[in-house]
Amino acid sequence: MTVIQLNDNDLFKTQSYVAGQWLAGNATFEVNDPANGERIAEVSEVTSAQVATAIAAAVSAQKSWAKLTADQRARYLMTWYQLILQHQDDLAMLMTREQGKPLAEAKAEIQYGATFVQWFAEQAKRVYGETLPNPALDRRISVIKQPVGVVACITPWNFPSSMITRKAAPALAAGCAIIVKPASETPLSALVLAELADRAGIPKGVFNIVVGTDAKAIGEQLTTHPDIAKFSFTGSTHVGKQLLAQCASTVKRVSLELGGNAPFIVFDDADLEAAVDGAIASKFRNSGQTCVCANRFLVQQSILDEFVARLTTKVQSLTLGNGLDSASQLGPMINRKALDDVHQLVTNAQQAGAKVVCGGKKPESQSSNYYPATLVTHVSNTMSIAQEEIFGPVATVIPFKTEAEAIAMANDTRFGLAAYFYSRDIGRCFRVMEALEYGMVGINAGVISNPHAPFGGVKESGIGREGAAVGIDEYLEIKYACFGDI
């Protein structure tokens, strides 16, 4: 087993963190480096009994945590935030080794994830109530917000740090205790956050991490347990629907951030250089393994050839390699199945008449997870590669003639997470932005996520919002109080 060298080796944890304790399970599972297949950790499988212990610990800790003042909870969170930044290099190293993304991207994610902790530490002190107009002379009406209770969440492997902080920070700020089940591909990034939360002094039982490979069984426990009041999930639409159905048994509050099929529209009045740069940033970050990355490039017919030529040059210049190599711009896919799924979409598109301009070849070695940056043209909006989430470094180009056609094509999907378009016509910017059926729209911008803005989708891309001032509301209940006989 390869040893990961850290500045602080105590950050390397391989057991679930429950009620302030590190718990060994009855079995272990391997964590492998997707860049080379090396085994980098043996992690203890959480047991069903330990998940139950985590729930009980969270229930026990939640009431006292909620009774703290907002300022007290904020101080805990700010200490956690500072510790995350203090150990940014080690957290990034763990992420690159288990997830594969280039080290520079991993460091950026740690910074991005930490800002959610900072933001919600501040938002903890801005949970306001209301005094409403009296309905009668002897009545007074007040509205307060209280923590929903114990929260459970399941997070994905593609952003293994920031997807946790984006859920845990508002939950903790609101006064909720939380249980996190991270992806089994990337447990180390989750467990190091638990270690830092412990060092920050967050009380035992308030923040818990359970790790294991039996996602179905753990998910069922977290979604059906009556003591869990709120459930949050980031992942595929297919799995999200199953978890939503399970939550119905106890009528839990639910937040879902699910799959996407983001259109990236380039109009003929766009700044082409800026559009191509935005296309590269949107499509190829994390090797295309992001829910908000561009999935379809819709390009106006009159500029199609020039856009494709410019994009081809940029795509061909991207460097593929181990994330620890500073020259690498694209890391490996998370595993071979992910690579095979992406390549199958490319193959199907070719068989349907699409043309691979560059890339599109599987590595000869069956043990390799590296897929080259790929550009596919002559794509129609009905092909599977345009209707399914690619989740890999493949850009598809689809021509359109009119603004109305572009909008219709962009909206022709069951997903509605993120959309992008480039135009210098201010009237068109408003028209298209309003017409796109998506929760988030980037206008002349290829990267749009930040903690100050509400993140989430419509249609089958999810329920609720994360980040921004509204992010903490997902973890609060509204209570109306009517005072009579005044």
On whether both 202 and 113 belong to a single domain, the answer is yes
Catalytic residue among 153, 176, 247, 291: 291
How far apart (Å, rounded) are the C-alpha atoms in residues 166 and 187? Answer: 17
Q: What is the CATH number of the domain that holds 67?
A: 3.40.605.10
User: Sign of the CA dihedral 61, 227, 179, 212?
Assistant: positive
Q: Is 360 left (phi over 0), alpha (psi -120 to 50) or beta?
A: left
On whether both 305 and 170 belong to a single domain, the answer is no
Does residue 334 sit in helix, strand or coil?
coil
Residue 270 lies in a domain: yes
Give the pLDDT confidence score for residue 364 in this predicted structure: 87
- Domain containing 236 equals 9-257+460-481
On whether both 39 and 188 belong to a single domain, the answer is yes
Q: Which residues pair with 483 in a beta bridge?
A: 140
- Report CA-CA distances (Å) from 277 to 58, 398, 449: 46, 18, 17
On whether both 277 and 426 belong to a single domain, the answer is yes
On whether both 302 and 331 belong to a single domain, the answer is yes
How far apart (Å, rounded) are the C-alpha atoms in residues 136 and 391? Answer: 58
Give the pLDDT confidence score for residue 1 in this predicted structure: 77
Residue 454 lies in a domain: no
Give the pLDDT confidence score for residue 3 in this predicted structure: 83
DSSP string, 178-193: EEEE--TTSHHHHHHH
pTM assigned to the model: 0.96
Residue 322 lies in a domain: yes
How far apart (Å, rounded) are the C-alpha atoms in residues 450 and 108? Answer: 12
Cβ partners under 8 Å of residue 110, min gap 6: 84, 85, 88, 91, 92, 95, 161, 162
Residue 486 lies in a domain: no
Give the pLDDT confidence score for residue 446 in this predicted structure: 96
Q: Is 443 left (phi over 0), alpha (psi -120 to 50) or beta?
A: beta
Catalytic residue among 109, 257, 460, 474: 257
Does residue 27 sit in helix, strand or coil?
coil
On whether both 96 and 33 belong to a single domain, the answer is yes
Helices 187-199 + 70-86 axis angle, to 10: 120
For residue 38, count other CB atoms closer than 10 A to its CB. Answer: 12
Is residue 291 part of the annotated active site? The answer reads yes
Q: What is the CATH number of the domain that holds 288?
A: 3.40.309.10
CB-based contact 41:30 (threshold 8 Å): yes
Residue 2 lies in a domain: no
Grouped pLDDT means (10 residues each) for the chain, 486 residues = 91 98 95 97 97 98 98 98 98 98 98 98 96 95 98 98 98 98 98 98 98 97 98 97 98 97 98 98 97 97 98 98 96 97 98 97 93 98 97 98 98 98 98 98 96 97 97 98 95
Domain count for the chain: 2
On whether both 233 and 270 belong to a single domain, the answer is no
On whether both 102 and 46 belong to a single domain, the answer is yes
On whether both 309 and 179 belong to a single domain, the answer is no
On whether both 227 and 309 belong to a single domain, the answer is no
Q: Which residues pair with 18 in a beta bridge?
A: 21
Residue 16 lies in a domain: yes
Cβ partners under 8 Å of residue 433, min gap 6: 421, 441, 443
On whether both 100 and 227 belong to a single domain, the answer is yes
On whether both 104 and 57 belong to a single domain, the answer is yes
Is residue 257 part of the annotated active site? The answer reads yes
Residue 4 lies in a domain: no
Residue 3 lies in a domain: no
